[in-house]
Amino acid sequence: MILSKPILLAATAAALRTPFQVPIDSTAGSGTDVGDINGKLPLVDSEKLQALIKGDALLARAEKLYAIAQLSEDEYNHPTRVIGSEGHIGTIEYIYSSLAALGNYYKLSNQSFPAVSGNVFESRLVLGHSVPATAQPMGLTPATANKEPVYGPLVLVADDGCDAVDYPSSVAGAIALIQRGTCPFGTKSALAGQAGARAAVVYNNEPGGVSGTLGTPSPDHIATFGVSSEEAAPFIDALKSGESVDAIAYIDAEVVSISTTNVIAQTAGGDQDNCVMLGAHSDSVEAGPGINDDGSGSLTLLEVAKQLTKFGVKNCVRFAWWAGEEEGLLGSDYYVAQLPAKENVKIRLFMDYDMLGSPNYAFQVYDARDKVNPKGSQALRDLYTSWYERRGLNWTYIPFDGRSDYDGFIRNGIPGGGIATGAEGIKTDEEEKAFGGRAGDWYDPCYHQLCDDVGNVNVTAWVINSRLVAHSVATYAVSLEDFPERKLEEVRSAMAETGWKYHGHKLVV
Ligand SMILES: *[C@@H]1O[C@H](CO)[C@@H](O)[C@H](O)[C@H]1NC(C)=O
Ligand SMILES: *[C@@H]1O[C@H](CO)[C@@H](O)[C@H](O)[C@H]1NC(C)=O
Ligand SMILES: *[C@@H]1O[C@H](CO)[C@@H](O)[C@H](O)[C@H]1NC(C)=O
Ligand SMILES: [Zn+2]
């Protein structure tokens, strides 16, 4: 799960021009004709598939994944599965080899794509005589000049700083102070850069700090921080009353371009023109091993994919393990952008499984609605809630607002939805009554931290949700009657929709 949501980070424009090409590895497994296999197996049954999902198997996979994250220790001094790391490369190999071991039940493919990755090594912001506690470098920020501190007067930018005329000439050589809102952070940083500022500080327009990203790198970007509105307020007042404020900004960071890979597995059996698709992200943030986020979803998919091989399917089932989710949904965006319309319409729905075993969990269901999302999204939502209800379990809706890999799908006309157990949100008193755990704490107190390790997963919740994933796969592998046949016109009209605050876990606007 990405932080509260950023904008398009992205696969580069050149990459987006590459033709749709997912090589199929027909060498995995051997011998038997796959159509045959599917025909000889009993048609998948939800209860039977669910019964094959066991906590021990999931936990053993989590231990394995943690050991893989440790492969990054030489380079990062701690376990991580961030894109470009040995831990992430190992994760992709583990997923691919586990699937290849299942013989020719699945057709496997790798989809590599270019991605940008930002690393901030050190940073400091001083406004007047104070160091704002909420100061945070934006994702994909460049370093300050020569990776040295820069000094200058703090200069207030007019309005939202979305227009070149908002930047007074005194911004040249200064540190620009800009209000959040209206346009992406990347636009503000570029305009400040064009006006000659040495660094930029974006202050929030609502309470709290800003965890944002500049998005697709631009040569005009300059070192950019976010700060809370509360901490910016005294300086804004001082500047407005004509006082001068000195500032120091320092960021040592790099933005690197790397190649990373989505792994796709599709049942060889079942109607190849009508698929149910599901995905989880294979990468973690740099800070830690990401066993809950999203080791839990990735491993659930792997276990369901393994158990599904005991059954036949009527519709094809396509599993995806996305890379670069934490950098702004890069892998899933790239995948959807590469899909020609005639491939797009074969995907009857997409189910997102990101963070399934948060330690202070709630059973969260994305509140997808047919009114605003592609038709069928609501039927998927209702499948989840009725499953929890049949088992006497409580559930809660959460906004379907673009924080994970479903985003590219629903923007491109494909019905979608999913479940989660919570990230950095705070559990309410009511939720404590409904789910246990502790009100007032984060659902995942180790969200995006080093402690997101094997101990950071509630196995009870993880098993319950993995069975629900199995139920969703089994249900739609047999019938897609809840989902209207996809039409090419709908693909195009949905593509016009834009304008969310999030695109992944960081804010983009
Ligand atoms: C896909 O990637 C995996 C993991 O890196 C690799 O082992 C496998 O050979 C690749 N398969 C194809 C068809 O390129
Ligand atoms: C569901 O929530 C209610 C309170 O809202 C609680 O009394 C009940 O025990 C919960 N059920 C389960 C299975 O946790
Ligand atoms: C996981 O959740 C269950 C059910 O709420 C609870 O009984 C158990 O103590 C939790 N496990 C851990 C390790 O916190
Ligand atoms: Zn995630």
User: Between residues 120 and 16, which one has the greater pLDDT?
Assistant: 120
Ligand 1 centroid from CA 109, angstroms: 8
Q: How confident is the model at residue 19 (pLDDT cuts 50, 70, 90)?
A: very low
- pLDDT top residue among 348 and 7: 348
* Ion ligand 4: residues, CB < 5 A: 1, 293-294, 354
- Residue 104 sits in the same domain as residue 170: no
Contact 473, 49 (CB under 8 A): yes
Beta-carbon neighbour count of residue 302 at 10 Å? 23
443 in the same domain as 296:
yes
Nearest CA among 475, 315, 482 for reference residue 390:
475
Ligand 2 close to Cβ of residue 394 (< 6 A): yes
- Structural domain including 134 reads 129-244
Kindly give the number of the ligand 1 atom that is closest to the alpha carbon of 97.
Answer: 7
Tell me, yes or no, whether 175 and 73 share the same domain.
Answer: no
What whole-number distance in Å separates Cα of residue 361 and Cα of residue 259? Answer: 34
Q: What is the pLDDT of residues 306-342, one digit of tens each?
A: 999 999 999 999 999 999 999 889 999 999 999 999 9
Do the domain assignments include residue 254?
no
For residue 143, give both structure tokens: 């370093």
460 CB under 6 A from ligand 3?
Answer: yes
Q: What is the dihedral of CA 475, 99, 114, 453, to 10 degrees?
A: 90
pLDDT, residue 502, reads 66
Please state, for a pLDDT cut of 90, what percent of the chain lies above it. 84
Which is higher by pLDDT, 280 or 20?
Answer: 280
Whether 465 lines ligand 3, by a CB cut-off of 6 Å, is: no
Show which of 244, 278, 301 is a domain's final residue: 244
Closest-approaching ligand to the CA atom of 294: 4
Looking at the structure, tell me whether residues 233 and 269 fall in a common domain: no
pLDDT, residue 496, reads 52
- Residue bearing the CA closest to ligand 3, atom 9: 458
For position 10, what pLDDT does the model report? Answer: 33
Report if residue 228 sits inside a domain.
Answer: yes
d(CA 387, CA 293): 23
| Among 172, 163, 219, residue whose Cα is nearest residue 199 | 172
Indicate whether residue 369 lines ligand 2 (CB < 6 A).
no
Nearest CA to ligand 2 atom 13: 393
Mean pLDDT of all residues in 56-63: 98
Counting from 1 in the atom list of ligand 1, the atom nearest the Cα of 108 is 13
Judge if the beta carbon of residue 236 lies within 6 A of ligand 2: no
Does residue 123 form part of some domain? no
Calpha distance 421→431 (Å, rounded): 12
Structural domain includes residue 16: no
Into how many domains does the chain fold?
Answer: 2
Q: What's the confidence (pLDDT) of residue 29?
A: 39
277 compared with 487, residue with greater pLDDT: 277
Q: Which of 194, 218, 244 is the last residue of a domain?
A: 244
User: Backbone phi, then psi, for 131, in 5-degree steps?
Assistant: -105, 105
Span 387-411, pLDDT tens digits: 999 999 999 999 998 889 999 999 9
Q: What is the pTM of this model?
A: 0.82
CATH number at residue 170: 3.50.30.30
**Interval between CA 168 and ligand 1 midpoint (Å):** 53
pLDDT over 90 at 497, yes or no: no
Indicate whether 35 pLDDT > 60.
Answer: no
Task: Please give the number of the atom of ligand 3 that sits closest to the Cα of 437.
Answer: 5
Whether 15 is in a domain gets the answer no
Nearest ligand by distance to the CA of 464? 3
Q: Is 434 in the pocket of ligand 2 (CB under 6 A)?
A: yes
Residue 120 Cα to ligand 1 middle (Å): 31
Q: What is the mean pLDDT of residues 485-500?
A: 66
Place 492 in a pLDDT band, splitting at 50, 70 and 90: low
Which atom of ligand 2 is nearest the CA belonging to 393? 13
Q: Is 485 inside any structural domain?
A: yes
Average pLDDT, the chain: 91
Answer with the residue of higher pLDDT: 17 or 475: 475
* Closest C-alpha to ligand 2, atom 5: 434
Name the residue with the closest Cα to ligand 2, atom 1. 434
Those residues with Cβ within 8 angstroms of residue 219's Cβ, 6 or more apart along the chain or in another chain: none
205 and 301 in a single domain? The answer is no
φ/ψ region of 143 (left if φ > 0, alpha if ψ in -120 to 50, else beta) reads beta
| CATH classification at residue 54 | 3.40.630.10
* Encoded tokens for 129: 């005589």
303 with 436, same domain: the answer is yes
Q: Is the same domain home to 233 and 357?
A: no
Shared-domain flag, residues 453 and 364: yes
Ligand nearest to the CA of 99: 1
What would the pLDDT profile of 176-230 be if each residue is shown by its tens digit? 999 999 999 999 999 999 999 999 999 999 999 998 999 889 999 999 999 999 9
Q: What is the rounded distance in angstroms from the CA atom of residue 221 to the CA atom of residue 223?
A: 7
- Per-residue pLDDT band at 64 (split at 50, 70, 90): very high
- 433 Cβ below 6 A of ligand 2: yes
Residue with CA at minimum distance from ligand 1 atom 1: 110
Q: Report pLDDT digits (tens) over 40-59.
A: 899 999 999 999 999 999 99
What digits encode the pLDDT tens for the residues 131-175? 999 999 999 999 999 999 999 999 999 999 999 999 999 999 999
Which tens digits make up the pLDDT trace of 75-113?
A: 989 999 999 999 999 999 999 999 999 999 999 999 999
Q: Determine, yes or no, domain membership for 253.
A: no
The residue from 211, 244, 277 where one domain ends is: 244
Q: Are residues 106 and 146 in the same domain?
A: no
In a domain, 371, yes or no: yes
Residue written as token pair 């409904």 = 434
Same domain, 207 and 103: no
**Catalytic residue annotation:** 325
> Is residue 87 located within the same domain as residue 185?
no
Q: What is the predicted pLDDT for the residue at 493?
A: 62
Q: How far is the CA of 360 from the centre of ligand 1 (A)?
A: 36
**pLDDT, tens only, 337-353:** 999 999 999 999 999 99
Per-residue pLDDT at 66 exceeds 90: yes
Residue with CA at minimum distance from ligand 1 atom 4: 93
Work out the end-to-end distance of the chain between its first and last CA atoms, rounded to an integer number of angstroms.
18
Are 275 and 419 within one domain? yes
Does residue 466 line the site of ligand 3, with CB under 6 A?
no
pLDDT class of 34 with cuts at 50, 70, 90: low
Residue with the smallest CA separation from ligand 1 atom 10 is 110
